Structure 1
Amino acid sequence: MRMVLKRISIQNFKGCKEREIEFSDKTAIRGINGAGKTTVADAVMWTLFGKDSTGAATFDIRPKDQDNNDIDFVEIRVESVWDVDGKELTLVKTQKQKWVKKRGSENQTFEGNENLYEINTIPKTEKEFKAYIEAVIPEEVFRFVSNTNAFMSQKPADRRKTLFKLVSDMTDTEVLTTDPKFHPLAEQLAQFTFEEILSRDKKALSENKKRLAEIPARIDEVSKSIVEQDYSAAEARLQTLRDQLASVEDDTSDASAYEQVNQLKDEVARYKGELQEIERGANTKITKARKDVQCKIIDIDQELTRLISQVSADEKQIENIRSLITGNEQRLYKLGEDYKAEKAKEMPEGSNLCPVCHQEYPESMKGNMRAAFEAEKERKLAEINLNGKSVSENIKSYKALAIGLEGRVASGNNRIDALKTDKLNLQVELETLPVSADLSRNDVYLAAESSLINAEGNLQIALNMTKDADARKQAVIEKRKAIQSEIDAMNRILSGKQTIANARARVEELKAEQRRLSQDIANTEKEVYLLEEFNKAKVNLLSEKINAHFKVIRWKLFERQINGGYNPICEPLVNGQAYSSALNSGHKILAELDIIQALQRIYEVSVPVFLDSAERINDFNIPHMDCQLITLSVTEDPELKVVNE
């Protein structure tokens, strides 16, 4: 795939207000620092990927005024025209500010930027635009093959990964066949990767070395617990004590006395149960009679509570009705006074005179005025009379209601007095009822009580007989305890003999583990060394493939360590000189261009290469490039100068 940048139009991008640049296969852009050389490269990358020429996603593209403040309300627009495999591709990216005037505010508020995209004059969404560019060339590939600094700006480990991904990988089987010493690794490499085996072995080495370092201290700790002693005296004493324990008599006499005690205890318990059963049966009737009286008292209390509450409510209602009667009587009296006053009203003097000219009204008008006065007077008298009748009816109704309630109150009070009398009689009846039954004349109860007294007497006699037997038995128990205590002491002493034997066995186990760990460490170290040699051989073969793509540089991918091992690195060399430390700026450019050309061949692409700081090398030293080359050079030209060759 070949990409050629034909033209770019820039408006309000960073420090460039408006500029259009035509490009050829080799274009030189020159000018003093700040003239806008890097701005051109940034505009290209921003259009394609939304980043600057260094790969930074966050950078300021809005133009500034003399005080370095953003210039608002202008559109930023970059249009680039490309030739992609012979077909013209026009890309346009425009950034607009979003200004919103909120309700009630006179000023507009900035709410962010909005990017608009076009491909060949057709508007696209951001997602569609990015997908299209990704299909043409991925961002990472474009950066590596267009920017001379992009690849070398990676960490060495990342550079190695990228290089190894660029060439066809080599199988472990191919490397195994290069040297017979690698054959022991064949079985493991068939199941696991090189990295998995190496990681496992290094972990095992670390763990085994740590365990091996701990063993001497563990052996020393166990050895300190081995203290030699003579255990023959303790063993002889233990045997004597065991013989004594076997010879101690276990006094089992007087067993019949203990059996008699148990029988008498059962007999006493049986008689007590019989007495309780008789008492329970006799008390059942008494309990029921008392409970019946108590239930009646409870019922009376509940009825009293209800009646007292009802009488209280009725009395309160009577009081309210009397207040209403008094109020209505007062109102009726006032209506009577109002009626008398209205009845006595006459037309006011001077009502027949005109208030303006002070002359009498005509007779016809005076008649009408009197008729109107009399009619209004009759209307008011009728209204007062009607209200008086209504109030009188209310008084009559309230008095009737009060009389009814007073009768119910009297009836309730009579019922309350009667219930209180009934309750008092029931309480007297309850006090006369016995709490428990009188069994002093119950022959069955008296017989059981007599039997209980006899059984308790016999039990006490039997208990006295067993006291002597208990004393003899306790003496035997104490003697056996003393002998057993001494036997336990001897066993504790003799347990040290087994502890020492166990300690000696543990020391031998630790020494065997020490020998095994030492051998495991040696075997693992041998395998790690072989793995490193295998990896070196594999990387050397890969290095040959990688270096075959480069003309100026060779990649140094390993560095020998003091301990004989190899440290992975990724350093380009030019004539044996390291890029990072020994090359001058001109040779660094040659190395970077060689990397660019090799990557373009490997990726099978041809895209424009932006060579920044091109003043570091003479034009005649710039190698021939199979792609478009755009050089950015610092010169004394005060304005940006574009030269197409």
Structure 2
Amino acid sequence: MKNILIKKLILKNFKGIKELVIDFEKITNILGENATGKTTVFDSFCWLLFGKDSKDRKDFEIKTLGPDGEALHGLEHSVIGILDVNGEEITLQRIFTEKWTKKKGLADKVFSGHETTYYINQVPAKQKEYNEKVTNILADNTFKLLSNPLYFNSIEWKKQREILLEIIGDIDQDNVINYKKELKPLEQLLSNNTPIEDFRKKVKDQISKYSKDKESIPFRIDECNNSIVEEDFKILEDRKVIIQNGINALSKQIAAGDNSSENMKLEKELSDLKLKYNSKLVEAKENSNKPLDEFNIQISDKKYEINDLEHQIQILNRDKFDTEEAIKAAYGIRTNYIEKQKSLRDIWHKENNVIFEFDENEKFCPTCHREYEIEQLEEIRTNAQGYFEESKNNKRNSINKQGKELGEKINQLETSIKENSENLIGYEEKLSEYNSKMELLKSELEQLEKDKQSLNINNTITFTGEQELTNSINEIKGKIANFKLTDNTELANRKLNLERELENISKQLGKKDNNETLRKRIQDLQEEERTLANEIAKLEGYDFLCEEFIRTKVGLLEERINSKFKTVRFKLFKQQINGGIDECCEALIDGVPFSNANTASQINAGIEIINTLSEFYEVNAPIFIDNRESINQIVPTDSQIINLIVSKDKELKVECKEKQEVA
């Protein structure tokens, strides 16, 4: 054990003290009013050893200041300390002086900086030699820990913990795991001697990553669900043909542009305002009328079903009307074609009944008007009859061809009429089914609303900005009610609606092949969500094991550390509300945190800590106790004590004792 004692300090021009000589004993009391220089004595000893003051500052004012607050020049600032180190007397001296040099061309010397000189046992020494000598006596960091009772608890808690672990030594991971059987799974998890801190950091990082991935899955599933189109694509394809025909027909009827865009803009604005109103209303209801939530949700869903069914009924009625119109038109065209066929048949019979008659004028030469010879005349007759028959056949063949084309068109029309008639039956059956379903839905909605009323809740639901939104909605409704369409606006709107519906149907048909892919994707996402949930649960189990490991290790460390102290106890972890733990290092005095204890308790606890540190470092160093007047008695210590006491003495007063009064 190394014992260090201060035997004497000699201050000269140090921080306002012109000259002061103090002889020290085992117990030395330095008394005086505030600002008489008690702390300066502590500063002088720290500066002598390490070039810093008692607050660990290198840059502090050493020089003596004049009345104007400026440093007095030309003075030598010096501290001499005579120490006893295990019975060996060592004298150290540090001198701080100004440097004045004479420059060429100037009569007087000028100030050019400062210099520090060092002496060991009255022998000049270089700074390196001096520092090595001081370090050999007592290192800077160790001196602060052993000389100031409040220093240990002023440093960062991690540094405190490091020092305490240095005293007791760390506990091997395997020992902690073997201490509690619940920690046995960590043997496999911490393979290759992986530090528990690194393993837990990795686990938490994986939990965070998996949790973010898992949170995103419901939204991705919703996106897939929302992208699936549940439609009868055969009906959509038939509807597409009908809509295209309707668009073509309307295009021919429209002679001028329409002004429906303004009305659409108003409808859009009204829709947005209603959406905003409903959103705020729902939010207000959630906060103020929670008992109605379940009914409101059911009623809302039921109304959505009704609205959706109404829309489907509207589409079916429109499809039914278009199909009826198509059948009616097909019948009209078919009748026209049949009439044409009948007319062609009459023409064919008339043409077939025509008989060849030889024109007598053909007997005579057109040039000389002489009658042809019999042989020549017979040839002329034969040729004329051949041309007649050929012409007659061509006419009959042309009529037959036109008749066949009409027959094919009639067959196509009859096939179309048959298919549309079958579709019409399907539409009527669907309408009957949907209307029955509509009555049931409305009945269910009515019952839900009655049940809701039976709750007898009559809260007035309001929200900030409700009146302004209502006024805006009414204003837009008024504009829509007063909106006038041009003569062909109705046609243009019908065409626009058909075009939108055609675009929507085309998109839906385009997604036909995508539906199966989306459903497969949903299954994959659901499986991924289950996998992630299992992984998170497993990792959370690992994290709990890590917490239990740390809690166990800290408990063991606390036992070891606290066994080194008589009254002071150290708390090495804090229990969190969520059951986790936070590592810390906090000294407790009779169960009270060091920072909340009174000055006397803090200093006595600090001396007890110094005793333990002194035993570990095997060094007893002088302890400076500031505000000593606030403590009646201090705990026993083998170290030299220098008490800095506030008294009514106008000048510093030194009292020495050979024996300590202990608590």
Please, what TM-score do these two structures have when normalized by structure 2?
0.56
**Counterpart of 1:601?**
615
- In the alignment, which residue of structure 2 is the partner of 1:638? 650
> 2: CA distance between counterparts of 1:137 and 1:185?
43
Deviation at 1:492, TM superposition (A): 10
Matched with 2:131 is 130
Q: Partner amino acid for 1:207?
A: K
Q: Aligned equivalents of 1:229 and 1:126: distance in 2?
A: 93
Q: Deviations over 1:269-298 (max 9, x none)?
A: xxxxxxxxxxxxxxxxxxxxxxxxxxxxxx
Which residue is 1:208 aligned to? 210
Are 1:552 and 1:590, in contact at CA under 8 Å, matched by a contact in 2? Answer: no
Match of 2:340 in 1: none
For the residue of structure 2 that corresponds to 1:2, the secondary structure is: strand
Query: In structure 2, how many angstroms separate the alpha carbons of the residues matched to 1:227 and 1:221?
Result: 12
SS at match of 1:132: helix
Distance 2:34 2:606 in 1: 22
Q: CA deviation at 1:586?
A: 1.8
CA 1:548 to 1:235, structure 2 compared with 1: closer, same or farther past 3 Å?
same
Aligned partner of 2:450 in structure 1 is: none
What is the CA distance between 1:107 and its match in structure 2?
5.2
Shift of 1:543: 1.1
User: 1:269 matched to which residue of 2?
Assistant: none
Report whether the alignment pairs 1:22 with 2:37.
no
> Which residue type is aligned with residue 552 of structure 2?
A
Please state if 1:65 is matched with 2:66.
Answer: yes
Equivalent residue, structure 2, for 1:154 = 155
- Residues 215 and 510 in structure 1, CA contact (< 8 A), matched pair in contact too: yes
What's 2:229 paired with?
A: 227
Bigger Cα displacement from structure 2, 492-501 vs 600-609: 492-501
| Conserved 8 A contact 2:572-2:584 | yes
Secondary structure of the corresponding residue to residue 588 of structure 1: helix
Question: Retained in 2: the 8 A contact 1:79–1:91?
Answer: yes
The corresponding residue for 1:622 is 634
2:98 is aligned with what amino acid? Q
Q: What code does the residue aligned with 2:175 have?
A: E
Q: Among 549, 552, 564, which residue is 1:537 paired with?
A: 552
Question: In 2 relative to 1, CA 54–500 (structure 1 residues): closer, same or farther, beyond 3 Å?
Answer: same
Q: Which residues of 2 match residues 111-260 of structure 1 at below 5 A?
A: 111-191=112-192, 192-229=194-231
Match of 1:560 among 565, 575, 581: 575
SS in 1 for 2:146: helix
User: Which residue is equivalent to 1:339?
Assistant: none
Q: Larger C-alpha radius of gyration, 1 or 2?
A: 1
Counterpart secondary structure, 1:177: helix
- Going from structure 1 to structure 2, the CA distance change for 1:611 and 1:206 (only over 3 Å counts) comes to same
| Mapped pair 1:524 → 2:539 | yes
* CA distance in structure 1 between the partners assigned to 2:518 and 2:98 by the alignment: 84
Within the candidate set 591, 616, 624, 1:610 is matched to: 624
Conserved? CA contact 1:212–1:518, under 8 Å: yes
Q: Is the 8 A contact 1:163 1:546 kept in 2?
A: yes
Structure 1: how far apart are the matches of 2:59 and 2:189? 48
Please tell me the residue identity of whatever aligns with 2:521: R
What is the Cα deviation at residue 608 of structure 1?
0.5
Distance (whole Å) between structure 1 residues aligned to residue 520 and residue 554 of structure 2: 50
Contact in 1 for aligned 2:153/2:587 (Cα 8 Å) = no
Question: What SS does structure 1 have at the residue aligned with 2:128?
Answer: helix
Residue 518 of structure 2 is aligned with which of 493, 503, 527? 503
| Structure 1, unaligned runs of 5 or more | 237-490
Q: What is aligned with 1:48?
A: 49
In the TM superposition, 1:52-451 aligns within 5 A as: 52-106=53-107, 108-191=109-192, 192-229=194-231
* 1:3 aligned counterpart, secondary structure: strand
What's the offset of the Cα at 1:494? Answer: 7.5
What CA deviation, in whole Å up to 9, does each residue of 1:573-630 have, x standing for no partner?
222222222x222222211111111111122111101111100112xx2222111111
User: Which residue identity does 1:49 align to in structure 2?
Assistant: F
Following the alignment from structure 1 to structure 2, what is the Cα–Cα distance between the partners of residues 493 and 210? 33
Q: CA deviation at 1:184?
A: 0.7
Q: Structure 2 unaligned segments of length 5 or more: list them.
A: 239-505, 658-663
What is the rounded CA distance, in whole Å, between the counterparts of 2:191 and 2:43 in structure 1?
A: 49
Could you tell me how far apart the structure 1 residues matched to 2:106 and 2:518 are?
Answer: 90
SS of residue in 2 equivalent to 1:217: helix
Structure 1 stretch 496-505 or stretch 68-77: which is displaced more? 496-505
Q: What is the match of residue 599 of structure 2?
A: 585
Match for 2:590: what amino acid? N
- Secondary structure at the counterpart of residue 24 of structure 1: coil
| C-alpha distance in 2 between matches for 1:122 and 1:504 | 92
Q: CA distance change for structure 1 residues 233 and 556 in 2, over 3 Å: closer, same or farther?
A: closer
**Secondary structure of the equivalent of 1:152?**
helix
State the distance in 2 between where 1:516 and 1:212 align: 9
Alpha-carbon offset, residue 229 of structure 1:
4.7
The question of whether the paired residues in 1 share the 8 Å contact of 2:573 and 2:585 is answered with yes
Quick check: 1:549 aligned with 2:549? no
The code of the aligned residue for 2:93 comes to V
For the residues of structure 2 that align with 1:593 and 1:225, how far apart are their CA atoms?
A: 74
Deviation per CA, 1:83-111, whole angstroms, max 9, x where unpaired? 11221211111111122343344554433
Whole-Å separation in 2 of the counterparts to 1:501 and 1:107: 100
Matched, 1:569 2:571: no
Instruction: Find the aligned partners of 2:536 and 2:605 in 1 and give their Cα distance.
Output: 45
2:78–2:96 Cα contact (<8 Å) kept: yes
| Partner SS state of residue 559, structure 1 | strand
Deviation digits for residues 511-535 of structure 1 (CA, Å, limit 9, x no counterpart): 1111111111111111111111111
Q: How far apart in 1 are the matches of 2:204 and 2:120? A: 54
- Give SS of 2:7's match: strand
- The aligned residue for residue 428 of structure 1 is none
Q: Is the 8 A contact 1:166 1:602 kept in 2?
A: yes
- The letter for the 2-side match of 1:555 is F
Instruction: Give a deviation string over 1:154-203, Cα, whole Å, max 9, x none.
Output: 13333223222222111111111111111111133343111101111111
The amino acid that maps onto 1:216 is P
User: Is the contact between residue 54 and residue 150 of structure 1 (CA under 8 Å) also seen in structure 2?
Assistant: no
Q: Secondary structure at the match of 1:580?
A: helix
Q: Distance in 2 between matches of 1:190 and 1:10?
A: 61
Asked whether the equivalents of residues 229 and 508 of structure 2 are also in contact (C-alpha less than 8 Å), the reply is no
Q: Distance in 2 between matches of 1:68 and 1:184?
A: 70
Go from structure 1 to structure 2 and tell me whether the alpha carbon gap of 1:216 and 1:493 turns closer, same or farther (over 3 Å shift): closer
**Residue 499 (structure 1) shift:** 2.4
TM-score normalized with structure 1 length: 0.57
For the residue of structure 1 that corresponds to 2:570, the secondary structure is strand
Residues 115-141 of structure 1, C-alpha deviation per residue, up to 9 Å, x if partnerless?
111222332222232233223322111
The percent of aligned pairs where both chains have the same amino acid is 37
CA-atom RMSD in angstroms: 2.3
Relative to structure 1, is the Cα distance of residues 602 and 44 closer, same or farther in structure 2, using a 3 angstrom cutoff? same
> 2-side partners of 1:522 and 1:109: how far apart?
77
Distance in 1 separating the partners of 2:603 and 2:82: 28
TM-superposed deviation, 1:231: 5.6
Residue 75 of structure 1: how far off its partner (Å): 1.1
Structure 1 residues 606 and 504: CA distance shift in structure 2, 3 A: same
